[in-house]
A and B are shown apart, each in its own frame.
Chain A
Amino acid sequence: MKNETKWIRVTYAHNIPLREGRAVRIAESEIAIFNLGGRFLAVENRCPHREGPLAEGIVSGTTVVCPLHAWKFNLENGQGVSPASSAHCVRSFRTRVEDNVIWLELPANFFTESQALLGCMEQQAEGATEACSVARV
């Protein structure tokens, strides 16, 4: 897998209210961006459990709670927090803000292979965790 990435402009920072998330459609996928007060965190907008829209979840510290069945994910790295027993995670993306615009870092091949990139294969590839073996391919 190529490690090249691309930064793209997504939306104005003020479009995402404090401690809320909003979904942005990018190619075939949706990415959920959260405003944690001066900091914007982005994860794939799709809970690995039943595909719940994470952008609609309640933010708790740096985690988000899926609105469908309350699965919880760390927004900083996509790791599942609860239920603790199951191995699950979502893909996370780096962001930055310039002139009130949120930028998102995506793999260069995101637009061609986005379906294949759901889940957190990248993190698994980096040896981050065994837990992510459930990632969809």
Chain B
Amino acid sequence: MEKLVVVGNGMAGIACVEQILRHAPKFNITIFGDETHVNYNRILLSSVLAGEKSIEEITLNGLNWYQQHDIALRLGVRITDVDAGAKTVTGDDGSVTGFDKLLLATGSLPVIPSIQDVMKDGVFVFRNLDDTRSLLERARPGLKAVVIGGGLLGLEAARGLQVQGCDVTVVHLMETLMERQLDVTGGSYLANKMNELGITVLLGLSTTAILGKGKVERVQFKGGGTIPADLVVIAAGIRPNIELGQKAGLDTKRGIVVNDYMETSNPDVFAVGECVQHNGICYGLVAPLLEQGKVLAATITGNKGPKYEGTVLASKLKIMGVDVFSAGEIGDKVDGSEVIRYEDPSLGIYKKLTLKASKLTGVILVGDTSDSHRYMEWLRSGTDLASMRRQLLFPDTGGDAGMDVAKISDNETVCGCMGVTKGVIVHAIHERGVNTLAQLKECTKASTGCGSCTELCQQLLKAVAPEFEEESRKVLCKCVPFAEDNLREIVRSQRLKSVQEVLDIYGNGQGCEVCKPALSYMLDMLWCGDHDEDRSARFINDRVHANIQKDGTFSVIPRIRGGVTSAAELRRIADVAEKYRVPLVKITGSQRIDLLGVKKSDLPKVWADLGMTSGQAYTKGVRMVKTCVGTDFCRFGTQDSTSAGIELERRLENLFTPHKLKMAVVGCPRNCAEATVKDIGLVGQEGSWQVVVGGAAGKKVRKADLLITVETTEQALDASGIFFQYYRENANYLERTYDFVERIGIEKVRKETVYAAEPQKQALRGRLHKSKARSRDAWLERNEPRTATQFVQIEMMDGVLV
């Protein structure tokens, strides 16, 4: 085996190593990365800054990947020198490592313009995970942020900072935003969009100095003008990092020069990614990395043959609500080419196609990028468009978004970043049982790059997969158009603590009866009471802790744990029923007692007289634990189901859940309390408990799945708690456990709960305990109402007659 040393643990280096691993084993691989994080998706850093993704979510290769492939990973070590003659590299930790083959994937460095005092405290670059973390730590609502650079990265950083609450100004040297991707008109449409978002755009301004005592206070421009700034982000472009290439004595120009086989001037030293220059071009995008990696992998493993012939440049701005796509030629002044334009200033839509000899050579889309895939395919394939001239801008499909997936040919690329064709996706669906986007990502890597093909992948899944599960991407509602798992991540990472805050920043500012209760739940689950609980966002039942009836009165169901009550309790219930003239007293199906027809203004008094706690029968929360008699009295009982049920209820009561949650504990498999059709059920048998989940006997009847079989009652309670918290954290609002378990799959549920690694289980337990510690009996509000009129009927000031 030869020794391969890879310098650079980024997307290019690792994509290339992944390709090398597809060939016959030839190398012992060592990878050096100067960042301390495993390989992550760098293009999604702006999504992390904007709170749309967590750091974990953008990880591409976890530590286990390196282990699986026997790769020695050296994180946090910067290679400072290469000796091409001795075939060694030297790290900043003093280590010297020998190699047979060296792969340089050193990427690029941010360009720092010559600005006076540019290193002042409060000035950041935005290039890697540490930069993103620093920005997230520094950004605070109300801070004035100035982003120097109006390219892709600068604009994405600007939006990210704005989402963090900063007051953002983008300063751009050129007269057009994203001038490398857009023409003047496109740039002005984009500038309008940014202004609409509330981001100030200053064009044609050269920044000359950072002013301030000790830390940044103002930014100064050529001509002397200044603007205030608490924090400055430099996003003025990138340049290939060729230092090691030069030290290795390679041919370099702007980048390390490589030929079509991805060879440098030294047969034992290779380079890939943003640090190379091929055919005069240095690429700063993802798609070329993968194409280069494939070719390089063939060459380095002795399978030389495939050639790299350049990549059509395409870029997409990743700002929610600002759709910009650009590919190929953008200028108007190319000989013999013609330009087709469409503009709608009110809608903010601008489209421009550049054609030469009936072939598409360039495209700019602002405001509506739904056709970008179609144009990209025309660019890549060089399709002759002569017969389609009338449909270039307005496809005659009459369809909704873009194109009919059936019309895409099998060898067309769907995911440009990862080079995945439709054929590969369809194959994965048919042959490997792929049904969800998550599975598709895992199986084919499609849609794991910039994410712009996600919609198309969804359409393909929908069209081809027999059991496509759309729920996973369904947005909460049109007021806040994000999927719930996205929203949870947003709320968590942005530390949003009120429903109105979420609606203001990520939604329409208003909300409705669908999203408000869902967001209320989400905040409660994530912050366990350490948030601003906005009662106006909750359903009436959760404002007054009782269930509204058809006549506007309420029903009161006190908690009777495990269905076990006492003579004293029953006497108090009877007294209350008489005192408040309760029209109906009824035994419920859940082994409890319901007092129906109570007036809102009587609720606090009723609760006080009952002297019992809330049974949460009005809310999406822990309802009850139904029990059978168990060993104490039953001659068949094998477990003490009553005590176990009371303890289970005590541990989980007062907590909220995505939908109502019903439980039961039975002492033997005769199942008298119907545990196998409950959300969580414990079924006792001789010497063990079965913990079952996802059962239902309501709108739907479903037998619960076995989660785990355990020996002791404590283990059964623990398993229930772990599943309970997992459901709380991962289910969509109003998703019962039986839908949740079916959607996730019981195998995965088991793997991520009771069969998860101990630290994961401990984390679930920890969060459950924290929530539980902060939860309380809602009926205590009888003593301290949230508002003066929470339960009080308002009387008219002027009396009855005026």
Residue in B539, B794, B800 whose beta carbon sits within 8 Å of that of A22 in the complex:
B794
Does B788 contact A15, Cβ atoms closer than 8 Å?
yes
| A102 and chain B: residue at smallest CB distance | B797
Does A20 contact B536, Cβ atoms closer than 8 Å?
yes
Does B540 contact A6, Cβ atoms closer than 8 Å?
no
Q: Is B335 an interface residue (CB 8 A)?
A: no
Bound complex: CA A59 to CA B537 (Å):
8
Nearest CB of chain A from residue B295's CB, rounded to whole Å: 56
Does A15 contact B552, Cβ atoms closer than 8 Å?
no
Does B796 contact A11, Cβ atoms closer than 8 Å?
yes
Q: Is B548 an interface residue (CB 8 A)?
A: yes
Does B797 contact A16, Cβ atoms closer than 8 Å?
no
Q: Is B795 an interface residue (CB 8 A)?
A: yes
Nearest CB of chain A from residue B510's CB, rounded to whole Å: 4
**Which of chain A's residues have a CB closer than 8 A to the CB of B801?**
111
| B499 and chain A: residue at smallest CB distance | A19
Nearest CB of chain B from residue A125's CB, rounded to whole Å: 24
Does B797 contact A25, Cβ atoms closer than 8 Å?
no
Does B536 contact A18, Cβ atoms closer than 8 Å?
yes
Q: Find residues 769-802 in chain B having any chain A CB closer than 8 Å to their own CB.
A: 787-789, 793-798, 800-802
**How many chain-A residues does the 8 Å CB contact rule pick out?**
34
Does A15 contact B789, Cβ atoms closer than 8 Å?
yes
Does B510 contact A61, Cβ atoms closer than 8 Å?
yes
Bound complex: CA A57 to CA B797 (Å):
24
| B509 and chain A: residue at smallest CB distance | A61
**Which of chain B's residues have a CB closer than 8 A to the CB of A41?**
none
Does A57 contact B540, Cβ atoms closer than 8 Å?
yes
**Which of chain A's residues have a CB closer than 8 A to the CB of B802?**
6, 8, 111
Does B797 contact A10, Cβ atoms closer than 8 Å?
yes
Q: Contact string, B504-532, partner A, CB cutoff 8 A, digits 1/0?
A: 00001011110011000000000000000
Nearest CB of chain A from residue B576's CB, rounded to whole Å: 23
Q: Find residues 4-36 in chain A having any chain B CB closer than 8 Å to their own CB.
A: 6, 8-11, 14-20, 22-27
Bound complex: CA A17 to CA B793 (Å):
14
Does A101 contact B800, Cβ atoms closer than 8 Å?
no
Q: Find residues 80-137 in chain A having any chain B CB closer than 8 Å to their own CB.
A: 101, 111
Q: Is B441 an interface residue (CB 8 A)?
A: no
Bound complex: CA A22 to CA B796 (Å):
12
Q: A6-B802, A25-B796, A101-B797 are in contact. Are A68 and B513 (CB under 8 A)?
A: no
Nearest CB of chain B from residue A99's CB, rounded to whole Å: 12
**Which of chain A's residues have a CB closer than 8 A to the CB of B798?**
8-10
Bound complex: CA A112 to CA B539 (Å):
35
Bound complex: CA A110 to CA B797 (Å):
16
Q: Is B535 an interface residue (CB 8 A)?
A: yes
Does B511 contact A26, Cβ atoms closer than 8 Å?
no
| A67 and chain B: residue at smallest CB distance | B540
Bound complex: CA A24 to CA B535 (Å):
20
Nearest CB of chain B from residue A95's CB, rounded to whole Å: 13
Does A17 contact B795, Cβ atoms closer than 8 Å?
no
Q: Is A78 an interface residue (CB 8 A)?
A: no
Does B535 contact A53, Cβ atoms closer than 8 Å?
no
**Which of chain A's residues have a CB closer than 8 A to the CB of B551?**
51
**Which of chain A's residues have a CB closer than 8 A to the CB of B543?**
20, 56
Label chain B's interface by main secondary structure.
loop
**Which of chain A's residues have a CB closer than 8 A to the CB of B794?**
10-11, 15, 22-25
Nearest CB of chain A from residue B319's CB, rounded to whole Å: 25
Does B793 contact A68, Cβ atoms closer than 8 Å?
no
Total A-B Cβ pairs within 8 A: 86
Bound complex: CA A50 to CA B512 (Å):
21
**Which of chain A's residues have a CB closer than 8 A to the CB of B516?**
58, 60
Does B513 contact A65, Cβ atoms closer than 8 Å?
yes
| A108 and chain B: residue at smallest CB distance | B802
**Which of chain B's residues have a CB closer than 8 A to the CB of A101?**
797
Does A58 contact B537, Cβ atoms closer than 8 Å?
yes
Does A11 contact B535, Cβ atoms closer than 8 Å?
no
Q: Is A52 an interface residue (CB 8 A)?
A: yes
Q: Find residues 34-89 in chain B having any chain A CB closer than 8 Å to their own CB.
A: none
Q: Is B699 an interface residue (CB 8 A)?
A: no
Q: A60-B510, A60-B512 are in contact. Are A67 and B796 (CB under 8 A)?
A: no
Q: Is B213 an interface residue (CB 8 A)?
A: no
Does A58 contact B550, Cβ atoms closer than 8 Å?
no
Does B793 contact A50, Cβ atoms closer than 8 Å?
no
Interface size class of B (residues with CB under 8 A): 20 to 34
Does B793 contact A25, Cβ atoms closer than 8 Å?
yes
Bound complex: CA A15 to CA B796 (Å):
12
Nearest CB of chain B from residue A58's CB, rounded to whole Å: 4
Does B513 contact A25, Cβ atoms closer than 8 Å?
no
Does A19 contact B536, Cβ atoms closer than 8 Å?
yes
Which of B508, B510, B513: most chain A CB closer than 10 A? Answer: B513
Q: Contact string, B179-214, partner A, CB cutoff 8 A, digits 1/0?
A: 000000000000000000000000000000000000
Q: Find residues 469-521 in chain B having any chain A CB closer than 8 Å to their own CB.
A: 479, 508, 510-513, 516-517
Bound complex: CA A20 to CA B539 (Å):
11
Nearest CB of chain B from residue A7's CB, rounded to whole Å: 9
**Which of chain B's residues have a CB closer than 8 A to the CB of A68?**
548, 550
Nearest CB of chain A from residue B784's CB, rounded to whole Å: 15
Residue in B517, B536, B788 whose beta carbon sits within 8 Å of that of A59 in the complex:
B536
**Which of chain B's residues have a CB closer than 8 A to the CB of A70?**
513
Does A24 contact B796, Cβ atoms closer than 8 Å?
yes
Does B789 contact A22, Cβ atoms closer than 8 Å?
yes
Bound complex: CA A22 to CA B794 (Å):
7
**Which of chain B's residues have a CB closer than 8 A to the CB of A11?**
794-797
**Which of chain B's residues have a CB closer than 8 A to the CB of A50?**
550
Bound complex: CA A97 to CA B548 (Å):
31
Does B793 contact A9, Cβ atoms closer than 8 Å?
no
Q: A58-B513, A60-B513, A70-B513 are in contact. Are A53 and B797 (CB under 8 A)?
A: no
Bound complex: CA A20 to CA B788 (Å):
13
**Which of chain A's residues have a CB closer than 8 A to the CB of B510?**
60-61
Does B789 contact A65, Cβ atoms closer than 8 Å?
no
**Which of chain B's residues have a CB closer than 8 A to the CB of A52?**
552
Q: Contact string, B235-278, partner A, CB cutoff 8 A, digits 1/0?
A: 00000000000000000000000000000000000000000000
Does A17 contact B787, Cβ atoms closer than 8 Å?
yes
Nearest CB of chain B from residue A97's CB, rounded to whole Å: 13
Does B535 contact A17, Cβ atoms closer than 8 Å?
yes
Does A9 contact B797, Cβ atoms closer than 8 Å?
yes
**Which of chain B's residues have a CB closer than 8 A to the CB of A58?**
512-513, 516-517, 536-539
Q: A9-B798, A24-B794, A58-B516 are in contact. Are A17 and B536 (CB under 8 A)?
A: yes
Nearest CB of chain B from residue A79's CB, rounded to whole Å: 17
Does A25 contact B787, Cβ atoms closer than 8 Å?
no
**Which of chain A's residues have a CB closer than 8 A to the CB of B534?**
19
Nearest CB of chain A from residue B338's CB, rounded to whole Å: 47
**Which of chain B's residues have a CB closer than 8 A to the CB of A6?**
802
Bound complex: CA A18 to CA B786 (Å):
12
**Which of chain B's residues have a CB closer than 8 A to the CB of A14?**
788
Bound complex: CA A7 to CA B745 (Å):
62
Bound complex: CA A131 to CA B74 (Å):
73
Does A8 contact B796, Cβ atoms closer than 8 Å?
yes
Bound complex: CA A111 to CA B799 (Å):
12
Does B548 contact A56, Cβ atoms closer than 8 Å?
yes
Bound complex: CA A68 to CA B797 (Å):
29
**Which of chain B's residues have a CB closer than 8 A to the CB of A60?**
479, 510-513, 516
Nearest CB of chain A from residue B786's CB, rounded to whole Å: 8
- Between A and B, 29 residue pairs with Cβ closer than 8 Å are A6-B802, A8-B796, A8-B797, A11-B796, A14-B788, A17-B536, A17-B787, A17-B789, A18-B536, A20-B535, A22-B789, A23-B793, A24-B796, A25-B793, A25-B795, A26-B796, A53-B552, A56-B540, A56-B543, A58-B537, A60-B510, A60-B511, A61-B508, A61-B510, A65-B512, A67-B548, A68-B548, A68-B550, A70-B513
The 7 lowest CB-CB distance pairs between A and B, nearest first, are A19-B536, A61-B510, A60-B512, A56-B540, A65-B513, A58-B513, A9-B797
Please report B residues at the A interface, Cβ cutoff 8 Å: 479, 508, 510-513, 516-517, 534-540, 543, 548, 550-552, 787-789, 793-798, 800-802
Excluding A22-B794, A58-B537, 12 further A-B contacts by CB distance (< 8 Å) are: A9-B797, A9-B798, A19-B534, A27-B800, A50-B550, A53-B552, A57-B513, A58-B536, A65-B512, A68-B548, A111-B800, A111-B802
